Structure 1
């Protein structure tokens, strides 16, 4: 391996004996050049240990001012609210947002990224599925196209991640529920689709133990994004079996809580504060419907505005600079306790 430092593609083309356009063509699509030429370029790559700046390549070959915006499920009002903010910020910056839904499936998530790659976007904002995402393929995509993650983190993937501080927010709502009534049981899905659920469970256990209470975890069967139905079905079951070990339930997310509220109503239980109520229910996220449930749902409100603004601002900086950040950014924003009538 040569010790000489190759600073850019022009220098690499000169030392490899291949024309600059041919080298550029290879990096855009290795199969687009002849096999003998490809072998010569790859041998030079080994000798000089050169790695092109794919961010700069993307900037040079950009044909549109499109920023891809990929979310797990657009049918979820939570993501609809976030993307509405992001779309406005993208348009305000003079770019065109292209919104895609992964429909809860890792294959569709990868298909979305491949579709974006084909149109040569300026950058991509991605809320990954998380636990079931094809991390290696997403990481490879993010090495070629400026990518910022939000909502769910994939360690080391993309230039930056912006999300909610689940550790702090769950700790805060557990403390409130313990202070205002019986310590809560934690209601979650047995097979969650989002890695945030694991962080929230861990934070619940830690908070309960810190407050000298035994953590009790109630796991609901069910797979997929139909959280309300899963919360409703499991809620009906545990209420009928009288297997709740507390009159306070903290749900992993608001959509599960909405299902549980419906189950409690149909089971004849009154939810809320006061002597006449037999159950308290709380959630997390401040889902757009949380304030309109009956009773209105106590929850932790994520700072949507900050997550959206920082995500868009960072992708714009990457596009403007034409190169990756010196190191990956990871920023978590605090949520706010919203006390409503359910707890």
Structure 2
């Protein structure tokens, strides 16, 4: 039997047996009710699949113009750039951005979300860890304020997700590498920090199959955010052992590729597509430093300016109309091939 559609809080109070004032206290601040009551409410929410129109409720009490922005690792120049773009977009729209970094620690992401709740932001823009994220913490703030995810997706969470079409972007660079030389091997971390890495691996496998080539995947030990060091040490060890069956290596991200370039230099291997070159290396993201490597890195550019603008404008529209979308929105931007000297 289909669940009864609960249209408002009065109906939810009737079916759950919890008073309307108690529910109002919970939805304003879950910690304001006793733990046992909070658990009863959350069980009833799951059972009846009810979600109140928190945005309409916010119109009845004073709200801020603060926008919470949480990034996984602000020391990464890619996230630094996209964070700056989001900040500027918020400021230009008349909002006050509160930018927080989780410093590569999923538990700090949950703490940042909890800290934002106490500030009662108008909405939150989150670039999550993905599989490492505390989903309950994300869903908790999503019950209070509009929530838009960007860069990394967590299915069925928040009102919208904005990111890059990894299947298009990886397919683009695989096609180029196959067309311009030997087909690429794929170099990645064994335990990647970002869920985009899994999609890129799958995209590589599918694209290689489409072009009639065997996929060769090589995984480096290590986890965390020291991508360049992992590319240098683990990638360097693989290069010394000559385990790659072709002379072309596609790295899961540019930071791994930058480390691999350094490893090749240390081994006296000339990287590029010109005369005397024995190795081609490519990456993904168009990291801010990728055009300054030697040789400059061939990669796929993510349109982080467009991602930042669309994520912010989607959030503003939800805040200002007090209406969540009928279905979760998902916008994927295509990557752009950037051909440089490394491949």
Pairwise CA RMSD: 3.2
Q: How does 1:316-331 map to 2 (within 5 A)?
A: 316-331=316-331
Residue 119 of structure 2: aligned partner? 119
Residue 93 of structure 1: aligned partner? 93
Could you tell me how far 1:13 is from its partner in structure 2?
8.6
Structure 1: state its 5+ residue gaps: none
Residue 128 of structure 1: aligned partner? 128
Residue 258 of structure 1: aligned partner? 258
Residue 229 of structure 1: aligned partner? 229
For residues 280-327 of structure 1, what are the alpha-carbon distances to aligned partners after superposition, in whole Å with 9 as ceiling and x for unaligned? 100000000010000100000011122111101110011112231111
Q: 1:31 to 1:202 in 2, by over 3 A?
A: closer
For residues 179-229 of structure 1, what are the alpha-carbon distances to aligned partners after superposition, in whole Å with 9 as ceiling and x for unaligned? 111111000001111111011001111111111111101111111011000
Question: Within 1, Cα distance between the matches of 2:220 and 2:120?
Answer: 42
Q: Is 1:271 aligned with 2:309?
A: no
Give me the TM-score of the superposition, normalised by structure 1.
0.90
Q: Is 1:81 aligned with 2:84?
A: no
Give 3-state SS (helix, strand or coil) of 1:132's partner.
coil
Number of residues paired by the alignment?
341
Q: 1:275 to 1:126 in 2, by over 3 A?
A: same
Task: Check whether the contact 2:298–2:341 (CA below 8 A) recurs between aligned residues.
Answer: yes
Residue 216 of structure 2: aligned partner? 216
Residue 282 of structure 1: aligned partner? 282
Give 3-state SS (helix, strand or coil) of 1:144's partner.
coil
Q: 1:158 to 1:15 in 2, by over 3 A?
A: closer
Could you tell me how far 1:106 is from its partner in structure 2?
1.5
Task: Check whether the contact 2:6–2:50 (CA below 8 A) recurs between aligned residues.
Answer: yes
Task: Check whether the contact 2:113–2:137 (CA below 8 A) recurs between aligned residues.
Answer: no
Q: How does 1:1-343 map to 2 (within 5 A)?
A: 8=8, 24-29=24-29, 32=32, 51-343=51-343
Could you tell me how far 1:15 is from its partner in structure 2?
12
Superposition misfits of 4+ residues, deviation over 4 angstroms: 3-23, 33-42, 48-51
Structure 2: state its 5+ residue gaps: none
Task: Check whether the contact 2:25–2:32 (CA below 8 A) recurs between aligned residues.
Answer: yes
